[in-house]
Chains A and B, each alone.
Chain A
Amino acid sequence: DAGVIQSPRHEVTEMGQEVTLRCKPISGHDYLFWYRQTMMRGLELLIYFNNNVPIDDSGMPEDRFSAKMPNASFSTLKIQPSEPRDSAVYFCASSNRAHPSGANVLTFGAGSRLTVL
């Protein structure tokens, strides 16, 4: 398996533009998580899905952020309109509830570094 695949790896955009980040989780994983990482706030959970259904979106900063998971192999995180304070690294991670440990062991993608000018 190629692991969790995220695109784009880097995105530079201007304030007000729409940004779409993409994620392909590991095949067979039934949970998908979107995290945001900044120096000031560390890693923040934005939203997570179980079997393509959003379970908890309480970490989504505001209505400008939305996430979808139309099928088991694809998820998007959209920011519209983008603002400079959205600049961060956005990580997608997936996990399998049937992990031998019974715990939520995450496999992360390489991240999408977003810069909003």
Chain B
Amino acid sequence: SQQGEEDPQALSIQEGENATMNCSYKTSINNLQWYRQNSGRGLVHLILIRSNEREKHSGRLRVTLDTSKKSSSLLITASRAADTASYFCAYSGAGSYQLTFGKGTKLSVIP
């Protein structure tokens, strides 16, 4: 399977703390994306980083990409209870348009 792996599988933090989630993948990629899924809902696109970029910011989100290690991390700063959700990385292999999703990290932010 070419499915990506996230770690940790589950993360519980206090409101205001930072949350870091990691993603590893196995193939060469064009880009890597992060999605959020609230309980009982569909996935929502958060941020995209291209293979030639090392870091990207969007509001309280910071994504890094290390293509030599085939890994990415998503940092959520100053977490809020509303950030409670599952977070998935997804990537397209070189020359491919379809996305492969990791198994996700379940984040719980305690008020």
Q: Write out, one digit per residue, whether chain B residues 43-86 have a CB within 8 A of any chain A CB (1) or not (0).
A: 11100101000000000000000000000000000000000000
Complex interface: chain A residues within 8 A of B100 (CB): 45
Q: Do the beta carbons of B101 and A42 come within 8 Å of each other?
A: yes
Q: Do the beta carbons of B42 and A103 come within 8 Å of each other?
A: no
User: DSSP class of A's interface residues: helix, strand, loop or mixed?
Assistant: strand
CB B26 to nearest CB in A, in angstroms, measures 15
Complex interface: chain B residues within 8 A of A48 (CB): 98
State the CA gap A114–B98 with chains docked (Å): 24
Q: Which B90-107 residues sit within 8 Å CB-CB of chain A?
A: 90, 92, 97-104
Q: Which of B41, B97, B104 lies in contact with A110, CB distance below 8 A?
A: B41
Number of A-B contacts (CB under 8 A): 53
Q: Do the beta carbons of B103 and A91 come within 8 Å of each other?
A: no
Q: Do the beta carbons of A103 and B31 come within 8 Å of each other?
A: yes
Q: Write out, one digit per residue, whether chain A residues 78-106 have a CB within 8 A of any chain B CB (1) or not (0).
A: 00000000000001010001000101111
Q: Do the beta carbons of B88 and A105 come within 8 Å of each other?
A: no
Q: Which of A45, A56, A93, A103 lies in contact with B33, CB distance below 8 A?
A: A103
A-B contact pairs, 12 of them (CB 8 A): A42-B102, A91-B42, A101-B48, A103-B30, A103-B33, A103-B48, A103-B50, A105-B33, A105-B45, A106-B35, A106-B43, A110-B42
Q: Which 6 A-B pairs have the closest CB atoms?
A: A108-B42, A43-B101, A42-B103, A108-B43, A103-B31, A110-B42
B interface with A by C-beta (< 8 Å): 3, 30-31, 33, 35, 41-45, 48, 50, 88, 90, 92, 97-104
